[in-house]
Structure 1
Amino acid sequence: MAPSSQNGVSRFHYHPEYYLEDGNVTFHVEDTLFRVHRHFFEAESQFFAKEFAKAPPGQEGTSDSTAFRLHQVTIADFAKFLWVWYSPSYRRERKPKDHWLTVLELSTLWQFPEMKKLAVDELQNLDIEPIEKITTYDRYHIDKSLLLPAYKLLCKRASRMSAEEGEQLRMPTVLGIHEARERAVRSAAEGGCLSPTSADADDEELERILIDVFNLKGHATNRQGARPEVKSDPVPLIKTPKPGVNGATNGNGSSASGSSTQNDTNKQKDADKNKGTAYREGKDE
């Protein structure tokens, strides 16, 4: 990225949507100028933060004559990229696959991690052929665990992978799909299927096979997002008092009738003691 020359500025066109009056940085893409807000680029991208920092004084892209020239991007693609920030109807307007593939490519090239994450989230909601999805995610180093549904489709379809499809995929992926299909056939045969194919394997078993073959350790087995059950601390045991003869209880487990008998005995001893004292006093008189 380099500032544009002042010569020939009059030949440039202003982009109809993204040449903003209150913008504070200008980009030169092909023959068109974009004037947008520097904050988005500086705050979210290490690439642009470094490019802005090393720009010579007076050539920081603050005017048309010092616009930063962007290579490896077309006018249409840069507009798609800016749309994510500037479209007021972003969450209500569905964009096709090609739009998000463009956002994915540029966010990877220019090191916009949050923008890349957004593009992946949107692509996950779209119907993409498994071969294209696998090659795309491999190219941009996206989490392989997100490819589990695509791997399953390749394993469950009746036909094997064609030579053309194999050329699009990396060799480890081709070998992995082949191994998973073979293991799925064996699993179906062990389950009692007489003429098994990989499509006959149980879905959960096929997922376990693919997770093992492609080492998808990040794939949670609980796909509903529920947290694993946590065992609570054991409830302290409380000794329940044993019932006495009359149904009453006490904390020591002895019967209430036994306690009553002991009390009566003590009272009787006190009474006898008092009687003896009174008898001796009467005799002395």
Structure 2
Amino acid sequence: MVNDSSFRSLTRHDDYYLPGGDLFFLVQHHVFRIHRYFFERESSYFKGKLATPASPGATRQGTSETNAIVLDDVQVHEFARFLWVFYNPKYSLYHTTVADWTAILTLAHRWSFPEVKALAIRELEKQPMPDIDRVVVYQDNEVDRNLLIPRYAALCERDEPITPAEGRRMGIETALTIAQLREVSRRPPIDCRSPAPANFHGLELFSLVRELFGVAVPPEDDTVPETPLGGPVIPSFASSSTND
């Protein structure tokens, strides 16, 4: 709950303080007023949180500015971009930056919004992104590892080895596995007297990546995915909202 002195210093968000909203959030002294419906429908985390009854004599959390749900470890612009997914005025057109989609993915994963997470992944797959960055983001947010097979393979095939800084970002296990991949994929045939570069390519390399990373081939498909994750496309949420 927000105390009186803190309440006086709050700012209503310019875009997402909606007159018809029935759910209040507080992010870095900014109050958001939105529609409870989206959070109850799309998120198992918030569905449970919002269903928790208030203690006797207390007001249910999130029903007013003074009782707003406080979101920690979230920036104002990140939460606003997350809400944009639901209130996008351009209906099915979701065009924004890699940084925005990364923030949306992170929050969707943290708060258990599976369809929003799937949307963010599909959009990130459409945009150019350094392999190291994509590996880090996808690993941090537990994205389907099948989408990482081509990225691991690309890091294996590049001329430069993984740097210490890159290894720290990806994690020691991933860095060591890629180092092993690079060694195995460049190993010359037993009957070859001189070393030969990159003896594994294409699907053969992908199979090696799967083996060393322990990623099974999806039952419905025996090829490495080159397109975003499947799943239902998230419809426009803008048409469902109301501004009273």
TM-score, length basis structure 1: 0.69
Deviation at 1:50, TM superposition (A): 2.9
User: Contact 1:6/1:66 (CA < 8 Å) preserved in 2?
Assistant: no
* CA displacement at 1:185 relative to structure 2: 2.1
**Which residue of the partner structure matches residue 38 of structure 1?**
36
The answer for the alignment partner of 2:215 in structure 1 is 216
Pairing of 1:9-88 with structure 2 (within 5 A): 9-52=7-50, 53-56=52-55, 57-88=58-89
- Aligned residue in 2 for 1:116: 117
Cα distance change on mapping 1:171 and 1:105 into 2, 3 Å: same
Does residue 101 in structure 1 map to residue 97 in structure 2?
A: no
Distance (whole Å) between structure 1 residues aligned to residue 120 and residue 166 of structure 2: 25
Shift of 1:64: 2.2
Distance 1:8 1:131, change over 3 A: closer
Aligned to 2:172: 171
Compute the displacement of 1:119 (Å): 1.6
CA shift for structure 1 position 85: 0.3
> Contact 2:210–2:216 (CA<8 Å) still a contact in 1?
yes
**Contact 1:84 1:90 (C-alpha < 8 Å) held by counterparts:** no
Alignment length, in residue pairs?
Answer: 221
Residue aligning to 1:134 = 135
Higher relative contact order structure (alpha carbons within 8 Å, sequence separation ≥ 6): 2
Moved more, 96-105 or 169-178: 169-178
Task: Provide the secondary structure at the position in 2 that maps to 1:117.
Answer: helix
Q: Which has the higher helix share?
A: 1
Q: 2:150 aligns to what?
A: 149
Q: Contact (CA 8 Å) 2:146, 2:224: kept in 1 or not?
A: no
Q: For residue 196 of structure 1, what is the aligned residue in structure 2?
A: 196
1:126 to partner: Cα distance = 1.9
Instruction: State how far apart, in whole Å, the 2-side matches of 1:30 and 1:23 are.
Output: 19
Where in structure 1 are there 5+ consecutive unaligned residues?
A: 226-285
TM-score by length of 2: 0.79
Q: How many angstroms apart in 1 are the aligned matches of 2:6 and 2:25?
A: 15
Q: Tell me how far 1:166 sits from its aligned partner.
A: 2.0
What's the CA shift string for 1:17-76, capped at 9, x where partnerless?
111111111112222111100011122223222332244442442222322222221211
Judged with a 3 Å threshold, the aligned counterparts in structure 2 of structure 1 residues 31 and 167 are, in CA distance, closer, same or farther, namely closer
Q: For residue 131 of structure 1, what is the amino acid of its counterpart?
A: I
Q: Distance between the aligned counterparts of 1:65 and 1:224, measured in 2?
A: 48
Question: Whose radius of gyration is greater, 1 or 2?
Answer: 1
The SS at the match of 2:186 is helix
What SS is found at the alignment partner of 2:63? coil
- Residue 260 of structure 1 corresponds to none
The one-letter amino acid paired with 2:20 is: D
SS at match of 1:122: helix
